[in-house]
Amino acid sequence: MTTPTYSPGLEGVIAGETAICTVEGGLSYRGYHVGELAEHCSFDEVAYLLLHGELPTAAQFQDFQQRVAAARRLPPLLKDIFTALPKWTTPLDALRTAVSVLGHFDQDAADNSHDANLRKAERLLAQIPVAIADHYRLSRGLPEIAARQDLSHAANFLYMLRGQEASPPEVKALDVSLILYAEHEFNASTFAARVIVSTLSDLHSGITGAIGALKGSLHGGANEKVMDILRAAGGPDTAEAWTKAALARKERIMGFGHRVYKTGDVRAGILKTYARAAAKAAGEWHWEETADIIERVMATEKNMYPNLDWPAGRLYHAMKLEIPLYTPIFAMSRITGWAAHIIEQLDNNRLIRPRAIYVGPPHRPVKPLAERQ
């Protein structure tokens, strides 16, 4: 009998087909290169593309924005839940709970048809930023800020967090980061969502599980570690020595390397421009200088290059966003990719049930309790 091939972590294993995204030849969403989308489109347009399959016409986009804006509200029960959560609850854990609760209030919750899943996806796209902002403010004893229907996804989120409109450069920078985080093929959280709904579970369950997968520092949580690394490095004068010493201790430098991209993440290069502009505007250029030195050492010593989390963590810091919000912002974007994959999975479903290579003891008889030594 031939021993099946085993690939730890499923690296390189083809686990399905998708028309949503490819990382071959540079990251593309439904055939459009992510760099062109970031340059020419808003996140709201990209959300439509991922969910509906094509970039919207002007009329389609207006209708879509109106539907999403109208859904920017939460059931009153969620405010009570947010208030009752322990003070140590992280924003991402609160968001995971919120999505699960929202499933109870969605009239299409049990309907797995294509159209029903699109309606649920659009509602969650609208509700997730509201949940993040409401929990953030309530956890700090601040009053909630009502959502605005006249603002874009990124602009409304910043408004709900702060109670005042963000500057156009801030909105644009956050918008681009949301585009770049929106979708990335069969990553851990997306694959978790597809596995969940392949059992004919529902969209809210799939998204709840995806958020659980996103929580880990090897996936979405990596962007929250970026400023820890920069602060530990100390600044431009000490960054090179610190990085080499950390590598000598075999410490992992978060924000570098990628399972798929071996020569650099195209998304990191795009967002770096916005991170640098934000740092300059905030008067914190020394962190960009520090980041440049760490990048050079990592390339020289380890042949490793930044992934998207590296500039994203710096951008959000320069925008004065608190670190525990970084991964929820990732989720606020990736809901579009998760939902698109869930819809694709359920439209042509087959239960995802891989096998394992057994490495335990060989067959052995069961002895009666009295005879066991």
Active site residue 258: yes
Give the DSSP H/E element, type plus range, for residue 152: none
Cβ-contact 180, 267 below 8 angstroms: yes
> How large is the C-alpha radius of gyration of the chain?
22
What does each C-alpha distance from 281 to 236, 277, 278, 294, 320 come to in angstroms? 19, 6, 5, 22, 12
List 93, 134, 309, 317, catalytic entry: 309
Report which residue type is found at 318. A
Helices 188-197 + 326-347 axis angle, to 10: 40
List 135, 153, 184, 258, catalytic entry: 258
Separation CA 285–CA 237 (nearest Å): 13
51: exposed, middle or buried (Cβ count in 10 Å: 0-12, 13-18, 19+): buried
Cα 352 to chain centroid, rounded:
22
Separation CA 46–CA 81 (nearest Å): 32
Cβ-contact 314, 288 below 8 angstroms: yes
Separation CA 222–CA 181 (nearest Å): 13
Separation CA 290–CA 284 (nearest Å): 11
Active site residue 150: no
Separation CA 170–CA 317 (nearest Å): 12
User: Which of helix, strand or coil describes residue 238?
Assistant: coil
Measured in degrees and rounded to the nearest 5, phi and psi for residue 170 equal: -65, -45
Residue numbers annotated as active site: 258, 309
